[in-house]
Amino acid sequence: MKKIFIGFCLLCCLQASAQLRFNLGQNSPQSKLQWAEAAINSLYVDSVDEGKLVEDAIRGMLKELDPHSSYATPKEVKSMNEPLQGNFEGIGVQFNMVEDTLIVIQPVTNGPSEKVGIVAGDRIVLVNDTAIAGVKMSKEDIMKRLRGPKGTKVRLGVARRGVKDLLSFTVTRDKIPVKTIDGVYMVKPGVGYIRIGSFGATTYNEFMQGIEQLKQQGMKDLLLDLQDNGGGYLQAAADIANEFLGRGDLIVYTEGRRVPRSEYKADGRGVLRDGKVVVLINEFTASAAEIVTGAIQDHDRGMVVGRRSFGKGLVQRPIDLPDGSMIRLTVAHYYTPTGRCIQKPYKKGDLKDYEMDLDNRLKRGELTNPDSIHFADSLKYKTLRKGRTVYGGGAIMPDYFVPLDTLQYTRYHRQLSAKSIVISQSIKFIDNNRKQLRARYANFEQFKADFEVPQSLVDTIVAEGEKQKVKPKDEEELQRTLPYLRNQLKALVARDLWDMSEYFQIANEQSHIYQKGLEVMAIDN
């Protein structure tokens, strides 16, 4: 009798609260899942969060598929989309946190904050009369207070060096552009450089503006830097690859179990079909960045320099759920023009092994020695014009391998960076010396030629490291660290006085991949 009663209650709950969208068979997996959720929600001994229960079930299912199928809450969806959509709504400042204080690095040009008079070096300490400095508020909470719908107003209390009283500004929030092109500059006569940070909705337009700028300065050959580019929109990648290729050239194709083959081809109207091209990649180059790299390599349009890319070649289709959450479900694979699958191997449900791939590459010597990278004969492909050998099996193998220099990137430097000691001390240095630096260096060219990192700044970093128990193993490790540290500090100062293009002009001076790229550019290929 008891069993009959419980079963009857459960059936009533199902009939009353679970209207299925699909016509499910009695023994279908979907029906089984719905019965289980209804049983737990209706009969479990303690109260349950039904929403979380369903979300956990979705995450559990996706976890057993592949490393890139995922579930995102409505909040996560908004945060995830902002960098790709090309804008967000807020006050328009680049900032860093130093000792619980928000320091403005640069206001966005013509942005809401610049318009009301906020300048680099200002400290925002109050937001709508709420203190955000010295109260250990998280960066996420601070951003939540600064961002808001376009047209809304926010009152800011600002401390400015040399001004005794707190300044008050009312800022009207607006759409703030998110740049995806990190650097554009001429390396030397005839050779231009562009670094793409990610592929978003505005990337193609930004890229073409950069190309036009470089062509006006006499660019004939291009160094395309895709290092650390984690990907983004497929269409943005296809649009950029189109600029390098001839009419009808295949850029990429996708194919899946339930998704028919779909091809992206060049229209022959690209503005970069002539001149040398060298693409720079590393182990963090992934997805859309691998599509561009693979297309250029397979068509012999340019040379690829660096280290084997990440190997993310799975196509996700966003499935919007009624509450604003989203499932990103893998539906197909990316293939380069020669038919190479970009996706590296993985074990379904074994996310840990997948996440450890780069560590395993380092342990096997793959990041430091090309002879440690082994390809089966079945994974060899031929490029489409010159018949050069390229390799499949996941990721893009460069034409010119550049080993990771473990002597340049010392353990000591990695620990200083991990604890944010380098960045925080450089910000303090800029904050204390901004006016003097601006007065001394009329332009970036003068700064690049004449500025030397003061020993006092290096000493401060070493001392702060010791305070946080970060010390070099010996004098030799310290001396090996200093050249790269000084270059990094000079680049950071340049970034805060100018922008990211100036940062990379200095940082690239000690990049082995960049330097090898220039060598390859000089070769008649």
State the Cα–Cα distance between residues 251 and 255, nearest whole angstrom. Answer: 14
Distance CA(125)–CA(144), nearest Å, equals 15
Residues 437/493, Cβ–Cβ less than 8 Å: yes
Cβ–Cβ contacts within 10 Å for residue 207, how many? 22
Q: Which residues contact 318 (CB under 8 A, 6 or more apart)?
A: 326, 327, 328
The answer to whether residues 29 and 57 touch, using CB atoms and an 8 Å cutoff, is: no
- Pick the catalytic residue: 221, 239, 249, 298? 298
Alpha carbon 363 to its chain centroid, in Å, reads 25
Count Cα neighbours of 388 within 13 Å in the Cβ-side half-sphere. Answer: 17
287 carries an active-site annotation:
yes
- Catalytic-residue membership of 347: no
Backbone phi, psi, residue 464, to 5°: -65, -35
Q: How far is CA 99 from CA 104, 119, 135, 377, in A?
A: 14, 20, 10, 55
Q: Are strands 277-281 and 221-225 parallel, antiparallel or unpaired?
A: parallel
Residues 367 and 395: beta-carbon distance below 8 Å: no
Place of tokens 């910000």: 427
The CA distance from 419 to 414, in Å, is 9
> In the chain, what is the greatest distance between 2 CA atoms, to the nearest angstrom?
91
- Strand pairing category for 167-172 and 174-177: unpaired
| Catalytic, out of 287, 309, 325, 511 | 287
312 classed as catalytic: yes
Strand (E) positions, 387-467? Answer: 389-391, 400-401
The CA-atom distances, in angstroms, between 414 and each of 99, 171, 409 are 21, 39, 7
In degrees and rounded to multiples of 5, residue 490 shows phi and psi of -65, -40
User: Considering 249, 276, 309, 312, which one is annotated as catalytic?
Assistant: 312
Which two structure tokens, joined as six digits, stand for 51?
């929403």
Q: Which residues are catalytic?
A: 287, 298, 312
